[in-house]
Amino acid sequence: MKLGMVGLPNVGKSTLFNALTNAGAASANFPFCTIEPNVGIVSVPDDRLAHLRDMYNPAKFTPAVLHFVDIAGLVKGASKGEGLGNKFLADIRETDAIVHVVRCFDNADIIHVDGNINPGRDIETINLELIFADIEMVDRRIDRVKKLLKGDKKNADELTLLENLKAHLEEGKSARSFSDFDTEAFGNMLKTTPLLSAKPIIYAANMAEETVGKPDENEYYKKVVEFAGLDNAVVLPICAEIEAEISDMDEADKKMFLDEMGLSKTGLERIITLGYELLGLISFLTAGEDECRAWTITRGTKAPQAAGKIHTDFERGFIRAEVIAFTDLKACGSIAAAREKGLLRLEGKEYVMADGDVCHFRFNV
């Protein structure tokens, strides 16, 4: 999973990126401090995998990973090449989802590129640039389909969809909120015409330390929630400064600090949870003395395709999967005990993987 972190200059985006990844990206109080996208790779916390590590004491321990991409700050006109616009849009195309950092705090010492704090305007600035870029792409697609229609009318339905989508975008609405369509047809269109404003999005409301534990008292945050409700998006209240403070703490001190702030989880943990939900991702696990590992797949993946994540030969020569739910394995204490209780199952090619399945794949090539 690759999440692109975007936001206007000086909203705390790079500070949050540094805190979440400890990647050491530059951050300073002036626009365009981030020129090339910084990439940070973080392990996905998973208590299930940690338990398997304690159970097997493997030679290798490999959690799932998440890629954060800190993308250059944006200004109006990016879709026309203003500022670092063209680079910004190209970098977003390479991500699976967007974390849009929105400034929801007052601080006279930190310059705002537009002179004052206004979350709705800030969100709209970036969203409109993505929408403008999408309109250009949809226009090109419409031109191609119209040429095809001259000799074959089978593309008429796609043309109707594209024209309805263009009208929706021209109203300043994102492709995420486009609902006047056949879901399958729209999904197929997105595979060949990947729209920026169709990407799942998390609005990270960057708040002051004193309000992050009670976000409903923050008027800026309320504005973000209101906007997200119209945009098929989710909102995460977060404080970049707090995340920076706890990034180097040990687990005990971190938990104590979060408890004092009225927070149950770190920002990283909450972003990962939301990212998995938005993208429809789950994890299955493999365990043994050689390695304990988490594998990320799309919800609904069948066993052979899950096996293919490990190696293409596993999918090509798939015979069956030995599967046990992690909760059952944990309760039994070992695979042998689970087998005795009949909890270790043999599943075939049509088995749909469940989150937390612990698997061993049988194959023959």
pLDDT tens digits along 310-361: 999 999 999 999 999 999 999 999 999 999 999 999 999 999 999 999 999 9
Structure tokens belonging to residue 339: 């087998």
Residue 29 pLDDT greater than 50, yes or no: no
| pLDDT of amino acid 27 | 44
- Cα torsion through 82, 86, 88, 91, rounded to 10: 180
- Name the pLDDT band for 219 (thresholds 50, 70, 90): very high
CA–CA dist 47, 55 (Å, integer): 12
Query: What Å distances lie between residue 135 and 128, 166, 167, 172, 241, CA to CA?
Result: 10, 6, 9, 10, 37
| pLDDT of amino acid 75 | 54
Structure tokens belonging to residue 321: 């999967």
Of the spans 35-44, 150-159, 175-184, 341-350, which averages the highest pLDDT?
341-350
- Name the pLDDT band for 207 (thresholds 50, 70, 90): very high
What mean pLDDT do residues 191-201 have?
A: 90
What mean pLDDT do residues 224-228 have?
A: 93
CB 243 within 8 A of CB 268: yes
- Name the pLDDT band for 87 (thresholds 50, 70, 90): low
What mean pLDDT do residues 213-218 have?
A: 89
- Note the residue count of the chain: 365
Backbone torsion region of residue 9, taken as left when φ is above 0, otherwise alpha when ψ lies between -120 and 50, otherwise beta: beta
What mean pLDDT do residues 285-305 have?
A: 96
What mean pLDDT do residues 96-103 have?
A: 93
What mean pLDDT do residues 262-281 have?
A: 89
Residue 111 pLDDT greater than 80, yes or no: no
CA–CA dist 289, 362 (Å, integer): 18
CA–CA dist 268, 157 (Å, integer): 42
- Longest Cα pair distance anywhere in the chain, in angstroms? 69
| pLDDT of amino acid 113 | 63
- Name the pLDDT band for 31 (thresholds 50, 70, 90): very low
Name the least confident of 26-35, 64-73, 279-288.
26-35
Q: DSSP string covering 118-138, please?
A: -HHHHHHHHHHHHHHHHHHHH
List alpha helices for the chain, DSSP H.
13-21, 47-56, 85-93, 119-149, 156-170, 183-192, 219-229, 240-246, 251-261, 267-279, 303-310, 312-316, 326-332, 335-340
Share of the chain above pLDDT 70, in %: 88
| pLDDT of amino acid 32 | 38
Share of the chain above pLDDT 90, in %: 52
**Residue type at position 68:** F
The residue among 299 and 245 whose pLDDT is bigger is 299
| pLDDT of amino acid 7 | 87
CA–CA dist 362, 365 (Å, integer): 10
**Residue type at position 112:** H
CB-facing half-sphere around the CA of 356: CA atoms within 13 A: 11
| pLDDT of amino acid 352 | 97
Q: DSSP string covering 47-95, please?
A: HHHHHHHHHH--SEEE--EEEEEEPPP--TTGGGT-TTHHHHHHHHHT-
- Name the pLDDT band for 86 (thresholds 50, 70, 90): low
Residue 38 pLDDT greater than 90, yes or no: no
What mean pLDDT do residues 22-35 have?
A: 45
Query: What Å distances lie between residue 42 and 63, 168, 179, 203, 282, CA to CA?
Result: 9, 37, 35, 20, 17
Dihedrals φ, ψ of 204, to 5°? -90, 100
For residue 146, give the 3-state DSSP assignment. helix
- Name the pLDDT band for 80 (thresholds 50, 70, 90): low
CA–CA dist 240, 212 (Å, integer): 10
The residue among 215 and 113 whose pLDDT is bigger is 215
Among candidate residues 69, 89, 85, the one with its CA nearest the CA of residue 77: 85
Mean predicted lDDT score pLDDT of the chain: 86
